[in-house]
Amino acid sequence: MARNKHNSKKGNAPDARGWARDGQNASLWNGHLALKREGATVPETDVYDVLIVGAGITGLTTALLLQQAGKRCVVADAHHAGFGTTGGTTAHINTFADNTYAEVEQAFGKEAAPLFADSIRGAVELIRHFVGTCQIDCDLEWRQGYVYAETEEEVKQLEELYQSALRAGVKAAPADDVPTPVPYLAAVVFDDQAQFHPLKYIGGLLNEFRKSGGAVVENACIREVETADGYYTAIADQHRLRAKRVVYATHIPPGGINVLHFRNASYRSYVIAVTLADGAYPDALVYDCQEPYHYFRTHTIDGQPYLVAGGNDHKTGHDDPQKAFADLIAYTRKYYHVERVAYQWSAQYYVPADGLPYIGHLPGAPDGIYAATGYNGNGMILGTAAAQVLSDLIMTGESKYKTLYDPARVKPVAGFAEVVKESADVVKRFIGDRFGIAHIDSLADVSPDEGRVIELDGEKLAVYRDSVGDIHVLDPVCTHAKCIVQWNTEEKSWDCPCHGARFDCLGHVLTDPARADLDQLL
């Protein structure tokens, strides 16, 4: 396999403190935090009740709930805890979601919105519970959350958001004193929102899971799962893990093609953490109504406050990451007295076709295999909600949210339109990349620490020139379903525009659903 040909690894490798993330850029979180690495090797003869694949907030919350309920669990991660999206989130904890309660009512019926709100409320309480009972020091702070409108059209959207939140039983009120320098026409405030340090939080979950007897295996990229004799055997390069049930807490499930790959679109979101010359840091969570929207909050680390600003999202592999960062920085500078851009990073999330996450039995898989994905930009809350649903399903076979989040659901009208849009985009991209991409003449056009897909004699090649000038040539065909990867100039990664798989500069898998590295040709 190609991965055996790689003899060096840079960029995404763990630093001296054993911490890394799925991109070249340090986030505010991993830039400050040393992770205690204690990955174990477990005997191949052990049979666990549940194998949880993925050690982000979904996987670790699920694992802790199940372990505390008496199940014997093992968590396997292809890298280590917090390597993926949880390490790149902006860690907003909200009682409202990107998919508004009005949109949920429209697509799923009036009774669905209060149920969705109830699930979200339960997730907030579960975070509060774990922080308290496990004494997790994760900078959890309760804040008000403001959403404001800048145009008449946005005022109408905001009114709909507000009214539907009330109908769903969520506390909200009109606001006239938003802590933002942006001129606005109307605003709504939500009480009891929160923020935390995501890696400190999942570090606390991890400690508690281990204390409860749970096992964690790092650097275990599950290549395939076999079934025999009533249990599953997950095969990684150096591990074989056996369990009666398997939970994929990896966003969309890895490996072969699954219906969830076509019901979720992968997006990149951009974040900067800046210091302000005038010290006017907002003491709240703040969101505008633009499309895509901007969001702001403050986090203090080692006595230094940072304004954390996010936005400029786009589909993975479809736009220019450098421009996204430049636009986000320019937008923030327009309204805030930015002294220094201390951090800039991007992270991946998944937009579900019909607006609600997919949580439950993995469609097409045998009984006992579960998945959770499609959290939109609300991963902290919906990842926690997913853990509650999955643990209930595994413990009792039931959850009051089972139907709402059923991954096998097929939603008519709005959902269908969105699926078609996303799928058509994928197909268009696939054909365009395979047969229509502009030719690039020479390897010499690739600058140090940059990559590019070029075409030579009809063959597409992914060319990366490392910082000492050596050329590395990879097969640009994504190992998931054969789309052509694109170079991400900011995170120094190869990103697939179809279902969001990502590979580091030398072709090693960073992000599912791909499970095999890009083939190294030269």
What does the binding site for ligand FES look like in residue numbers (CB under 6 A)?
478, 480-483, 496, 498-501, 513-514
Farthest CA pair distance, the chain: 66
Rounded to 5 degrees, what angle do the CA atoms 265, 31, 97 make?
A: 35
Closer residue to ligand FES, CB minimum distance, 233 or 266: 266
Beta-carbon count within 10 A of 484 CB = 22
- Least Å distance between CB 488 and ligand FES? 14
Continuous segment of H or E residues that includes residue 432: helix 414-435
- Least Å distance between CB 6 and ligand FES? 19
- Least Å distance between CB 248 and ligand FES? 15
- Least Å distance between CB 121 and ligand FES? 34
Closer residue to ligand FES, CB minimum distance, 198 or 513: 513
- Least Å distance between CB 83 and ligand FES? 18
Contact 306, 275 (CB under 8 A): yes
- Least Å distance between CB 61 and ligand FES? 26
- Least Å distance between CB 266 and ligand FES? 8
Instruction: Reduce the DSSP state of residue 358 to 3 states and report it.
Output: strand
| Residue 291: burial class (beta carbons within 10 Å; 0-12, 13-18, 19+) | exposed
Closer residue to ligand FES, CB minimum distance, 316 or 391: 316
Closer residue to ligand FES, CB minimum distance, 288 or 495: 495
Tokens of 444: 């010499």
Query: What is the identity of the amino acid at 485?
Result: V
DSSP string, 34-50: ----------TT-EEEE
- Least Å distance between CB 201 and ligand FES? 29
Contacts of 303 (CB under 8 A, 6+ apart): none
The percent of the chain in helix, strand and coil, each rounded to the nearest 5, is: 25, 30, 45
Q: Residue 229 and residue 211: Cα distance in Å, rounded?
A: 30
Phi/psi of residue 347, nearest 5 degrees: -145, 160
Closer residue to ligand FES, CB minimum distance, 1 or 471: 1
Closer residue to ligand FES, CB minimum distance, 404 or 461: 461
- Least Å distance between CB 512 and ligand FES? 8
Closer residue to ligand FES, CB minimum distance, 35 or 78: 78
Q: Residue 166 and residue 178: Cα distance in Å, rounded?
A: 20
What is the total residue count of the chain? 522
Tokens 């709909």 locate to 160
Cα 169 off chain centre by? 28
Closer residue to ligand FES, CB minimum distance, 262 or 293: 262
Closer residue to ligand FES, CB minimum distance, 5 or 482: 482
Contact 143, 285 (CB under 8 A): yes
